[in-house]
Structure 1
């Protein structure tokens, strides 16, 4: 009997180890920035495990933390980061352990502490990165001025409906992952000060520039066109806050 119990326990340990190895390998199969992005952006600045974009002008003193989607490398959002910094905003895009924002939802604290001259902070994210960004904002209402959801939504435990937190939610018509139905289902979690904007012809993967993504639909517009629409809406919204 003791021998049988030992065999069962050993089998469970082996299964757990195999499961962890499989999960680790899966998290390392990341979505890399496209050649089009790298050509458009040029040199990308790094500060430790942060991709950074700092504006030439410093009058705004406003910072944005942008969490990548699951398994998407932070450089894939460089076109958006550069567009925002060109409008005067300081942008930090982190690389997460195991490439999953949900494992380090408080990562924004690092960037905020490194930039003490910034007077006002916003946080946003793409897909599951947006879910984690909303979690951080919900826990830190005095620190975060507003939330930007890119093909994303708050988790059920992060209900903003009774809060005045400014939220910008941008979603895409052809998104095969964060569908319009999902956006509708989670509207009740958004604050009374929420702006929703749909990108006609856009899809999920083109909230970054990392190529096609499994489960997504084909977009009717180019990645660059979608990125420009996202940046324009974000800048217009940020300038009003």
Structure 2
């Protein structure tokens, strides 16, 4: 009996050690901002808070609203710096959440703290890339009274966050060449979106170019450049945000 317990104890210890080793290796792997992004974004003008980055208009434009972004799995938040800064330049305060281990579900409720930190901003939107979009959708679902709309970047909600019976404003931006959030998966989850969803497939776009961090395992090759895809995402997002703001004051 003692021998059996000793064997089980050794086996459990080995399993724990292997699990810890795997987690350490896994948690140390992240998708970093590309050299191209560093050349396009002046990071000296980015405000770093404890657990999020803030992008403000680089001109004296009045802040129209706030837009909170959740990162994709294992993607460093500054990989969305170009997208965030370009939207900020159109009059929005943009906050990109910096989650532990770069996994958004660890910071799903961080949006609450961000909103409280800027009491003068009366209108807020939320969005996220890939797994970050899942977190953003979950938060938006539970805070439809305080978050005015959801932006899904190559993402979709979980089944429990079913917006289909509502008119909640949603913008879903997807990629024609996406190898992870594939057009097939987007179609399969379309029934979870609201009656007030604008669904846009960006031609030639893949999954990784929703950020600027290089290639991603399992993805397809895009037929447009990273900057072309980013500029299209910015254009579509800003147009949608502006339209929502016009509706809110009409």
When normalised by structure 1's length, the TM-score is 0.96
Q: Name the structure 1 match of 2:198.
A: 195
* 2:154–2:207 CA contact under 8 A, matched in 1: yes
Q: For 1:46-104, what per-residue CA distance to the aligned partner results, in whole angstroms no more than 9, with x for missing partners?
A: 12221210124453440010001000000000000111111000000011111111222
Rounded Cα–Cα distance in structure 2 between residues aligned with 1:174 and 1:72: 19
User: Do the aligned partners of residues 164 and 20 (structure 1) sit closer, same or farther apart at CA in structure 2, a change above 3 Å counting?
Assistant: farther
User: What is the SS of the residue equivalent to 2:149?
Assistant: strand
Q: Name the structure 2 match of 1:31.
A: 31
* 1:83–1:231 CA contact under 8 A, matched in 2: yes
Unaligned runs of 5+ in 1: none
User: What is the SS of the residue equivalent to 1:236?
Assistant: helix
> How many residue pairs get matched?
241
User: What is the SS of the residue equivalent to 1:174?
Assistant: coil
Rounded Cα–Cα distance in structure 2 between residues aligned with 1:2 and 1:163: 61
Q: Name the structure 2 match of 1:215.
A: 218
Q: Name the structure 1 match of 2:72.
A: 69
Could you list the structure 1 runs, at least 4 aligned residues long, displaced by more than 4 angstroms after superposition: none
User: What is the SS of the residue equivalent to 2:206?
Assistant: coil
Rounded Cα–Cα distance in structure 2 between residues aligned with 1:190 and 1:5: 52
* 2:77–2:102 CA contact under 8 A, matched in 1: no
1:156-167 paired onto structure 2 within 5 Å: 156-167=159-170
* 1:172–1:200 CA contact under 8 A, matched in 2: yes
Unaligned runs of 5+ in 2: 245-250
1:1-241 paired onto structure 2 within 5 Å: 1-43=1-43, 44-55=46-57, 56-57=59-60, 59-241=62-244
Rounded Cα–Cα distance in structure 1 between residues aligned with 2:122 and 2:129: 24
Deviates more, 1:80-89 or 1:50-59: 50-59
Deviates more, 1:155-164 or 1:15-24: 15-24
